């Protein structure tokens, strides 16, 4: 009875003071639309980032050496190279037997220094078997110039981002081997300095290592590539054949073991008598001059053949990217893998993809926090306006409220009346705001908005704007609206509670 | 039996740097079933005295007992309950709830009590609305009524909860003479039937005609009670 009376009075008061109700309502509507769309965008970005990062680069789980101290193995710019997984073969067997795993890609990741004259600058390389990479991360890269690295071919795929960096740091413009400079494809700043432009079709780099045992190697650029999305993040990593990476970092590899030597070389190596190497005879020996003509092209072809081929083998890796089967639990698989690694003393550990990419993994959460702070600010303004409007409304109704007190209405009744009034406004206008927000989200989703803009890709969580609205977002919205309602009504309630029965008469 | 006992009540209002002494040591006793009129010129303190008796104002000093309860010692919640259950108010300017219609305004105190059934509330409200002659306006909002009609609604609302005491500040000031008479008749009828105590302030000699007891007040002092 009491509740329906309070509700009735509250409801009719809202209609009686339409202007004020509308002002408060519009503020609540605006705030909740913003909150809903914002949360939808962020959820979409969060989901998109997860999807893109998992599907394009890291997989669900990343395997590293247990000696690796930090979890952020892919974007740790401290310069420390990743530790080599010492017993990858044993770890591989564990990965192969884990039911939840769909497939995995062993790789090498780390920095190298590109050498150009006396200068050098760092780039990040991901050494992979390109064939396996494309199977596990299909469609993640597209060639914009040149061609894709062929299976077992030595070469590097330079990302557009890395190409820009090479130009900025070294003033060199990288081109795929066999490609001519196409002015139409050059960015404006490069065109401006065209006269002095130094074009290169290969890179000489040296592995960045703390061990001082790295080598400088020359690797041809086979193509310029872009990742499907998030090039601002992934563009820092160029793809290189795994052997070149190993060579640059002077890894002891399976390929070294497989080198075949001739019988003469074998005999030489087996010979313990060092003196025999320095026996009598002329140091210089006469030889016949070959009349056979050899062209420089033939030599280049032979050299190319020798340097461009290698066998993918069970060599050294410092990272492996693991993709899980649909619906498999990442946490459970992580737990299982780490338990098995530990049990078998493999000195290997598994980490979640979010941890492996450092702050990028929590970027969506960070954006979400920032957006919510902005929404809280909007709501704070709304709270002040609503508080002021309600307080004014209470003071305007002082005679009426005083009379209610005089004829026996407790303070609680009047407080309830004001809470109902604000609650009703929040429910209708806030609720309407949420509905409008959801409609906007679906409109944005169905508009199929795509972007190549790098910053927008971060905001979208990929190359497509794909906002989503989850039950969690709805709950968050309701909680935020509830908080706004409570905070806005607190001060007016104090004003109401201070109205004395005598005010019913004093104001006559 | 005394329903109201007022002893040595003073009421001071600060007004800038000065103090207005509205009541200067008032003693008054009101017996159950009284039909009392407080008369006095404007500013004599009659409204202040009514407000203090009605528990909507507190004295600066002195003692006020309503049904034996010392109201100066009661906390707000109990005083509000006392007003709801024991006292009915009729204000000079009607003071109805603008968003409620006649029926709902009259029902309001009963709904606050939360002890009557819907049927009881409706029957009681309709009886009083009929008695004040507003049955045909029962669904009207206060804004759709004349001043006199609004006051009749206020009277019905004051009487609906069968209070022990009804306090009325100039109750017929805005009513025509015919309505004034019918209202005073109604009040007297309730006074006699239900033993409801009525205390009202007035200038109207017609109202004085109905009063059984008259209290004269001037400059915050009671000059006489008879």
Q: What is the mean pLDDT of residues A239-266?
A: 73
CB contact under 8 A, A400 and B98: yes
| Helices (H) then strands (E): counts for chain B | 7, 10
Question: In a 3-state reduction of DSSP, which class is residue A13?
Answer: helix
Q: Do strands A216-227 and A141-146 pair parallel, antiparallel, or not at all (unpaired)?
A: antiparallel
**What local confidence, expressed as pLDDT, does residue A116 receive?**
81
Partners of A124 in beta bridges: A111, A237
Asked whether B208 and B39 are in contact (CB, 8 A), the reply is yes
Q: With contacts defined as CB-CB under 8 Å, which chain B residues touch A500?
A: 56
pLDDT reading at B175 higher than 80: no
Shortest CA gap A433–chain B (Å): 28
Chain B interface includes A407 (CB < 8 A): yes
Asked whether B224 and B215 are in contact (CB, 8 A), the reply is yes
Q: What is the mean pLDDT of residues B136-162?
A: 89
pLDDT reading at A239 higher than 90: yes
Q: What is the mean pLDDT of residues A266-276?
A: 68
**What local confidence, expressed as pLDDT, does residue A312 receive?**
43
Task: Give the confidence band of A70 by pLDDT, cuts at 50, 70, 90.
Answer: confident
Give residue-wise pLDDT tens across range A145-189.
Answer: 999 999 889 999 999 989 988 888 888 889 999 888 888 778 888
Asked whether A346 and A91 are in contact (CB, 8 A), the reply is yes
Give residue-wise pLDDT tens across range A103-150.
Answer: 999 999 988 888 887 788 888 999 999 999 999 999 889 999 999 999
Residue (of A218, A212, A225) closest to A200 by Cα position? A218
Chain B interface includes A399 (CB < 8 A): yes
**What local confidence, expressed as pLDDT, does residue A275 receive?**
66
Q: Please enumerate, as own/partner, the contacts of A210-214 that have beta carbons within 8 Å and a separation of 24 or more.
A: A210/A80, A210/A81, A211/A250, A213/A250, A214/A248, A214/A249, A214/A250
Shortest CA gap B78–chain A (Å): 9
CB contact under 8 A, B109 and A407: yes
Per-residue burial over B181-212, b if 16 or more Cβ lie within 10 Å, else e, is bbbbebbbebbeeeebbbbbbbebeebeebbe
Between B54, B104, B112, which is nearest A413 by CB? B112
**What local confidence, expressed as pLDDT, does residue A255 receive?**
46
Please compute, for residue B79, the number of CA atoms within 13 A of its CA located in the half-sphere on the CB side. 22
Shortest CA gap A410–chain B (Å): 6
pLDDT reading at A210 higher than 80: no
pLDDT reading at A308 higher than 60: no
Give residue-wise pLDDT tens across range B180-212.
Answer: 787 788 788 878 877 889 998 887 777 778 888
CB contact under 8 A, B109 and A413: no
**What local confidence, expressed as pLDDT, does residue A299 receive?**
59
| Furthest CA-CA distance within chain A | 133
**CA angle, A112 as apex, A106 and A113 as ends, to 5°?**
170
Q: In what order do the strands lie in the sheet with B69-70?
A: B18-31, B2-15, B61-66, B69-70
Q: What is the mean pLDDT of residues A447-464?
A: 80
From CA A508, how far away is CA A399, in angstroms rounded? 8
Asked whether A112 and A248 are in contact (CB, 8 A), the reply is yes
Our measurement of the distance from residue B165's CA atom to the centroid of its chain's CA atoms, rounded to an integer in Å, reads: 7
Q: Which of B91, B107, B173 to mutate to test the interface with A (most CBs of A within 10 A)?
A: B91
Asked whether A107 and A317 are in contact (CB, 8 A), the reply is yes
User: For residue B118, what are its two tokens?
Assistant: 């819907």
Smallest CA–CA distance from B104 into chain A, residue: A5
Q: With contacts defined as CB-CB under 8 Å, which chain A residues touch B100?
A: 8-9, 12
**What local confidence, expressed as pLDDT, does residue B138 receive?**
95
Interface of B with A (CB under 8 A): 47, 51, 54-57, 76-77, 80-81, 83-85, 88-89, 91-93, 95-100, 104, 108-109, 111-114, 118, 157-158, 169
Give residue-wise pLDDT tens across range B43-81.
Answer: 888 889 999 998 888 899 999 998 888 988 889 899 999
Task: Give the confidence band of A301 by pLDDT, cuts at 50, 70, 90.
Answer: low
CB contact under 8 A, B97 and A403: yes
Whether the full predicted model's pTM is greater than 0.80, yes or no, is no
From CA B105, how far away is CA B111, in angstroms rounded? 10
- What ipTM was assigned to the predicted interfaces of this complex? 0.89
Our measurement of the distance from residue A66's CA atom to the centroid of its chain's CA atoms, rounded to an integer in Å, reads: 24
Smallest CA–CA distance from B89 into chain A, residue: A407
**What local confidence, expressed as pLDDT, does residue A458 receive?**
73
Residue (of A367, A476, A283) closest to A41 by Cα position? A367
Which run of H or E residues covers position A202? strand A202-207
Strand segments (E) across chain B: 2-15, 18-31, 35-39, 61-66, 69-70, 87-90, 165-169, 197-201, 213-218, 221-225
Q: What does B151-171 look like in DSSP terms, one character per residue?
A: HHHHHHHHHHT--SEEEEEST
Partners of B89 in beta bridges: B167
Give residue-wise pLDDT tens across range A392-410.
Answer: 888 888 888 888 999 899 9
Please name the residues between 4 and 63 in chain A that touch chain B, using a CB distance below 8 Å.
5, 8-9, 12-13, 15-16
CB contact under 8 A, A16 and B99: yes
Count of CB contacts below 8 A, A vs B? 84
From CA A426, how far away is CA A382, in angstroms rounded? 11
From CA B220, how far away is CA B13, in angstroms rounded? 12
**CA angle, A419 as apex, A416 and A424 as ends, to 5°?**
120
Between B56, B109, B111, which is nearest A501 by CB? B56
Cβ neighbours of residue A102 under 8 Å, at least 6 residues apart? A323, A324, A325, A326, A328
Smallest CA–CA distance from A4 into chain B, residue: B111
From CA B162, how far away is CA B207, in angstroms rounded? 22
Q: With contacts defined as CB-CB under 8 Å, which chain B residues touch A404?
A: 97
From CA B74, how far away is CA B56, in angstroms rounded? 12
Residue (of B185, B186, B216) closest to B203 by Cα position? B216
CB contact under 8 A, A504 and B92: no
Shortest CA gap A39–chain B (Å): 39
CB contact under 8 A, B51 and A5: no
pLDDT reading at A212 higher than 60: no
CB contact under 8 A, B112 and A409: yes
Smallest CA–CA distance from A503 into chain B, residue: B56
> Which sign, positive or negative, has the C-alpha torsion A342, A344, A347, A353?
negative
**What local confidence, expressed as pLDDT, does residue A276 receive?**
63
CB contact under 8 A, A16 and B77: no
pLDDT reading at A96 higher than 50: yes
Which residue has better confidence, A428 or A289?
Answer: A428
Shortest CA gap B5–chain A (Å): 20
Sort A257 into a burial class: Cβ within 10 Å, 0-12 / 13-18 / 19+.
exposed
CB contact under 8 A, B100 and A9: yes
Least confident of A151-160, A479-488, B89-98, B168-177: B168-177
Task: Give the confidence band of A502 by pLDDT, cuts at 50, 70, 90.
Answer: confident
pLDDT reading at A294 higher than 70: no
Between B114, B157, B169, which is nearest A1 by CB? B114
Asked whether A223 and A162 are in contact (CB, 8 A), the reply is no
Q: What does A217-232 look like in DSSP terms, one character per residue?
A: EEEEEEEEEEESS-HH
Least confident of A249-263, A323-337, B16-30: A249-263
Shortest CA gap B212–chain A (Å): 26
Q: Which of B66, B89, B142, B168 to mutate to test the interface with A (most CBs of A within 10 A)?
A: B89
Asked whether A157 and A268 are in contact (CB, 8 A), the reply is no
Least confident of A65-69, A184-188, A254-258, B112-116: A254-258
Residue (of A187, A227, A251) closest to A454 by Cα position? A227
Q: Which residue has the tokens 């590293």?
A: A64
Sort B39 into a burial class: Cβ within 10 Å, 0-12 / 13-18 / 19+.
buried
Angle between helices A431-446 and A18-53 (to 10 degrees): 40
Task: Give the confidence band of A307 by pLDDT, cuts at 50, 70, 90.
Answer: very low
Asked whether A25 and B134 are in contact (CB, 8 A), the reply is no
pLDDT reading at B105 higher than 60: yes
> In chain A, what percentage of residues exceed pLDDT 70?
86
**CA angle, B152 as apex, B147 and B158 as ends, to 5°?**
125
**What local confidence, expressed as pLDDT, does residue A306 receive?**
45
Chain B interface includes A410 (CB < 8 A): yes
**What local confidence, expressed as pLDDT, does residue A313 receive?**
46
Between B56, B118, B157, which is nearest A502 by CB? B56
Task: Give the confidence band of B7 by pLDDT, cuts at 50, 70, 90.
Answer: very high
From CA B103, how far away is CA B89, in angstroms rounded? 17
From CA A391, how far away is CA A398, in angstroms rounded? 10
């Amino acid at each position: 009875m009491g509740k329906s009376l309070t509700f009735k009075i509250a409801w009719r008061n809202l209609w009686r003071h339409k202007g004020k109700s509308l002002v408060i309502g519009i503020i609540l509507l605006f705030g909740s639309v913003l909150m809903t769309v914002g949360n939808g965008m962020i959820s979409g970005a969060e989901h998109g980032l997860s999807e893109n990062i998992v599907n394009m680069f890291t997989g669900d789980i990343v395997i590293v050496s247990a000696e690796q101290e930090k979890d952020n193995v892919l974007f740790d710019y401290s310069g420390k190279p990743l530790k080599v997984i010492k017993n990858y073969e044993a770890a591989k067997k564990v990965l192969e037997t884990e039911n939840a795993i769909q497939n995995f890609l062993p790789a090498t990741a780390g920095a190298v220094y590109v050498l150009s004259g006396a200068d050098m600058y760092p780039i990040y390389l991901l050494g992979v078997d390109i064939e396996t990479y494309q199977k596990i991360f299909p469609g993640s890269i597209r060639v914009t110039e040149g061609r894709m690295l062929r299976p077992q071919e030595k070469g590097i795929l330079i990302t557009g981002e890395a190409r820009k960096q090479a130009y900025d740091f070294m003033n060199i413009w990288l081109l795929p081997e066999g490609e001519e400079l196409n002015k139409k494809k050059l960015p404006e700043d490069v065109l401006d300095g065209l006269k002095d432009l130094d074009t290169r079709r290969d890179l000489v780099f040296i592995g960045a290592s703390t061990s001082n045992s790295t080598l400088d190697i020359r690797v041809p650029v086979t193509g310029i590539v872009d990742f499907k999305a998030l090039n601002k993040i992934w563009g820092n990593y160029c793809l290189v054949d795994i052997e070149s990476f190993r060579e640059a970092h002077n890894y002891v590899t399976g390929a070294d073991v497989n080198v075949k030597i001739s019988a003469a070389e074998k005999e030489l190596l087996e010979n313990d008598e060092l003196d025999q190497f320095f026996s009598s005879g002329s140091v210089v020996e006469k030889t016949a001059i070959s009349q056979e003509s050899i062209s420089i092209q033939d030599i280049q072809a032979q050299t190319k053949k020798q340097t461009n081929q290698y066998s993918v083998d069970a060599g050294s890796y410092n990272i492996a990217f693991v993709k899980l089967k649909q619906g498999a639990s990442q946490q459970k698989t992580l737990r299982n893998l780490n338990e098995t690694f530990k049990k078998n003393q493999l000195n290997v550990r598994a980490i979640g993809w979010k941890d492996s990419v450092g702050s990028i993994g929590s970027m969506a959460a960070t954006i979400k926090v920032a957006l919510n702070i902005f929404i809280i600010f909007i709501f704070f303004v709304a709270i002040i306006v609503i508080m002021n409007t309600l307080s004014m409304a209470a003071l305007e109704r002082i005679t009426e409220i005083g009379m209610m007190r005089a004829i026996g209405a407790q303070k609680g009744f009047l407080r309830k009346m004001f809470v109902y009034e604000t609650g009703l406004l929040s429910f209708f206008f806030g609720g309407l705001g949420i509905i409008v927000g959801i409609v906007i989200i679906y409109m944005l989703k169905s508009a199929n908005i795509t972007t190549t803009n790098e910053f927008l890709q971060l905001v979208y969580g990929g190359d497509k704007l794909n906002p989503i609205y989850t039950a969690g977002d709805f709950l968050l919205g309701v909680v935020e609206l509830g908080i706004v309602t409570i905070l806005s009504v607190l001060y007016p309630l104090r004003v109401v509670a201070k109205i004395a029965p005598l005010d019913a008469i004093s104001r006559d | 039996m005394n329903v109201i006992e007022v002893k040595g009540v003073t009421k001071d209002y600060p007004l800038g740097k000065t103090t207005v002494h509205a009541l200067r040591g008032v003693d008054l006793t009101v017996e159950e079933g009284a039909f009392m009129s407080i008369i006095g010129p404007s500013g004599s303190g009659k409204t202040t005295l009514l407000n203090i008796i009605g528990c909507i104002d507190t004295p600066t000093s002195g003692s006020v007992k309503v049904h034996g309860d010392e109201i100066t010692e009661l906390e707000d919640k109990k005083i509000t309950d006392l007003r709801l259950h024991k006292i009915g108010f009729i204000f000079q300017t009607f003071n109805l709830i603008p968003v409620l219609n006649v029926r709902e305004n009259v029902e309001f105190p009963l709904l606050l009590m939360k002890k009557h059934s819907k049927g009881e509330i409706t029957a009681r409200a309709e009886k009083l609305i009929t008695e004040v002659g507003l049955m045909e306006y029962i669904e009207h909002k206060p804004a759709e009524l004349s001043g006199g009609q609004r006051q009749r609604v206020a009277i019905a609302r004051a009487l609906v909860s069968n209070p022990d005491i009804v306090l009325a500040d100039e109750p017929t000031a805005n009513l025509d003479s015919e309505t004034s008479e019918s209202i005073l008749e109604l009040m007297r009828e309730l006074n006699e039937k239900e033993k409801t105590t009525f205390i009202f302030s007035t200038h109207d000699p017609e109202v004085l005609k109905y009063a059984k007891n008259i209290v004269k007040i001037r400059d915050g002092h009671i000059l006489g009670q008879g």
